[in-house]
Structure 1
Amino acid sequence: MITLLIIAAALVGIIFGVAAILPNDGYGHRPVPRSHVDSYPTHNPFL
């Protein structure tokens, strides 16, 4: 069970990390210049 949680967290981190690198944030609009992390419902420690 713990392993599944770690794998899920890693996948979420990779997905959000790639989304941060791409020109848009994955929602069809460019991220806020100061910090687009605030637009996400949860804080991602991987960024």
Structure 2
Amino acid sequence: RLIQGNKRKLILERSAKCVQRIKCHDEPPLQLLRMRKRGYSNTEI
């Protein structure tokens, strides 16, 4: 039972890390797109 619980914890932690990583990867491109919409070019950022 303990082993199953630990495995479940590891899986949850791993999925949480994946979600964080995906969020971190998504944020800069979104910011770039927003700035481009406002009329900034890539060189100005």
TM-score w.r.t. the length of structure 2 is: 0.50
C-alpha distance in 1 between matches for 2:18 and 2:24: 10
Larger Rg: 2
The Cα RMSD (Å) is 1.4
2:23 maps to 1:18: yes
Identical columns (%): 12
Match of 2:11 in 1: 6
Using the size of structure 1 for normalisation, the TM-score is 0.48
User: Could you list the runs of 5+ residues in structure 2 that have no partner in the other structure?
Assistant: 1-5, 30-45
Greater RCO (CA < 8 Å, at least 6 residues apart): 1
**Residue-pair matches, total:** 24
Structure 1 alignment gaps of length 5 or more: 25-47
In the TM superposition, 1:26-41 aligns within 5 A as none
Q: Following superposition, which runs of at least 4 residues in structure 1 exceed 3 angstroms of deviation?
A: none
Q: Which has a greater percent of helix?
A: 2
